[in-house]
Structure 1
Amino acid sequence: MSDAPLPNKKPENFLVNIACNLALPILVLKYLSGEDRLGPVYGLVAALAFPVGYFFWDLAQRKNYNIISIFGFLNILLTGGIGLMEAEPKWVVLKETAMPLMIGILVLATANRKNSLLKTFLFNDQIFDVEKIQGHIDTPEKEVALASQFKVANWLLVASFLVSALLNFVLASYIVKSPGGTETFNQEIATLTWVSWLVITGPTMAILIFALWRLVKGLKTLTGLEFEGLLHEQHTQGK
């Protein structure tokens, strides 16, 4: 978790994110990968150039990254490698399953660290006024109760990545049937991209929202603060 103050962090442009990481790659893979156009190899390279370019552009603009963005970048590189090496589709299934599993393992591994991934994803100074909240955790009993809240939230975060891994495995196994380096492989990767986004986003976001809701409820009880009092002042200005 970065220690830079919130006002110095530029918000991510959601539309540009969706265009570069989802819409444009899908369109290129679907409609420009035929032999009469870019071909499967150059079509794959062109499609992946958008999310790769966005990663570096966003990093330069916002000076901000986290484990999700890094794993997303690695995922893109691995997809390109599988396609260019004309590997069997089983490697796509393995990659799609392994990525969220590895993040879930890292969430568990960092659970007891000061800068845990839980605090990066949910309890961070981009959302909460962490300093104010910690100032209200002024007794050993409250510290124990807060640790208990974090423990439950941590397991919910792990659960979201386990669900993602399971759904990725099922979807990749069902959709990707062709070896890399072919037009059909590119078509299948395009289908997997948008189907995964639709199917996986819902349940994983539901778990994360529940984890955040439960954490906020616990913080309100422990600190005596109302919801707006928990938030970083950047989110309450003008209200």
Structure 2
Amino acid sequence: MTDPETQSPPTHKPRPWVDLLVSIIIPSVILMKLSGDEYLGSVMALVIGLAFPLGWGLFELVRYRKYNFIAVLGIVSVGLTGGIGLMELDAGWLAIKEAAVPAVIGIAVLVSTRTRYPLVRTLLYNPSVLNVDKIQAVLKENGSEGEFEARLLKASYFFSLTFLFSSIMNFVLAKWIVTSPSGTQAFNEELGRMTLVSYPMIAIPSMIMMIAIFYYLWRSIRRLTGYTLEDVMAPHLAAQHDGKSSDTSTGNGG
């Protein structure tokens, strides 16, 4: 019998549509449509609405044992939003909180560049995405390690700027949309509206910036090593890619 405690956690597979539904759409609908006294009431709607992203985040952390800084900070952010509403603090604190969370991440990215473990390595240049050992071997052989490290540092600076953008936009949106006293039905409705609006105005642009940074990093790797993307994909991703390619060719042949 295998000891459950010694088993490795299941592989985490991204589920963007589930994330969007649980973290954005369901909470927003509850806050905007069910905060009236004839439904859940402002307090219960806030508790239930925020329980979805909070519960989903905790589930992901426990299920996949991904106790990373950004995930934990996201849970803290949801908890603080609930605290501001339930304690009926001034709505201005929401804008400060919304700006502070990405600002803390951005500062952490900058600080990490002075340590042995820059966050950009953890998030973009890591063995789960790229065959780092293979890349490093060629960089060393070509004497390009220094140039690549400089480009990695530049990518870290770009990365921190995406969080600066998010911090500023979060503050502006919170100030613009959430103007009612916390603990009221209007506050909940505005909070739900802000959550919905933040996706196209903040999350999608930030995602595009992240893709651009990864492309910059990938172009640097290609220029310094001569490898194609297929050459340096992480082994498990390369195996999946080869499997799909063979399935496609088999289907065409049939």
TM-score between the two structures when normalised by the length of structure 1: 0.92
Q: CA deviation at 1:139?
A: 5.0
Q: Once the two structures are superposed, what CA deviation does each residue of 1:82-129 show, in whole Å capped at 9, x if it has no partner? A: 001101111011001111111100000001323221112211122111
CA contact (8 A) 2:102 2:167 kept: yes
Question: Counterpart amino acid of 1:194?
Answer: L
- Alignment partners' CA distance in 2, 1:16 and 1:34: 27
Aligned to 2:194: 192
Q: Once the two structures are superposed, what CA deviation does each residue of 1:15-49 show, in whole Å capped at 9, x if it has no partner? A: 32122111111111111111111110111000111
Unaligned residue ranges in structure 2 (runs of 5+): 1-8, 246-254
Q: Higher mean Cα deviation, 9-18 or 27-36? A: 9-18
Q: Higher mean Cα deviation, 59-68 or 141-150? A: 59-68
CA contact (8 A) 2:35 2:188 kept: yes
Instruction: Tell me which of 209, 221, 227 is aligned to 2:229.
Output: 227
Aligned to 2:182: 180
Instruction: Tell me which of 44, 47, 66 is aligned to 1:45.
Output: 47
- Alignment partners' CA distance in 2, 1:114 and 1:150: 13
Structure with higher Rg: it is 2
- Alignment partners' CA distance in 1, 2:127 and 2:66: 13
Q: CA deviation at 1:211?
A: 1.0
The percent identity for this pair of structures is: 35
Aligned to 2:27: 25
Unaligned residue ranges in structure 1 (runs of 5+): 1-6
Instruction: Tell me which of 107, 126, 129 is aligned to 1:105.
Output: 107
Aligned to 1:143: 145
Question: Counterpart amino acid of 1:11?
Answer: K
Question: Counterpart amino acid of 2:209?
Answer: I
TM-score between the two structures when normalised by the length of structure 2: 0.87
Show the 5 A alignment for 1:94-133.
94-133=96-135
- Alignment partners' CA distance in 1, 2:203 and 2:193: 15
Aligned to 2:173: 171
Aligned to 1:3: none
Q: Once the two structures are superposed, what CA deviation does each residue of 1:168-224 show, in whole Å capped at 9, x if it has no partner? A: 111111001012110001001001101011101232222211111111011112222
**RMSD (Å), alpha carbons:** 1.8
Question: Counterpart amino acid of 2:107?
Answer: I
Question: Counterpart amino acid of 1:15?
Answer: W
CA contact (8 A) 1:88 1:178 kept: no
SS at match of 1:18: helix
- Alignment partners' CA distance in 2, 1:78 and 1:59: 18
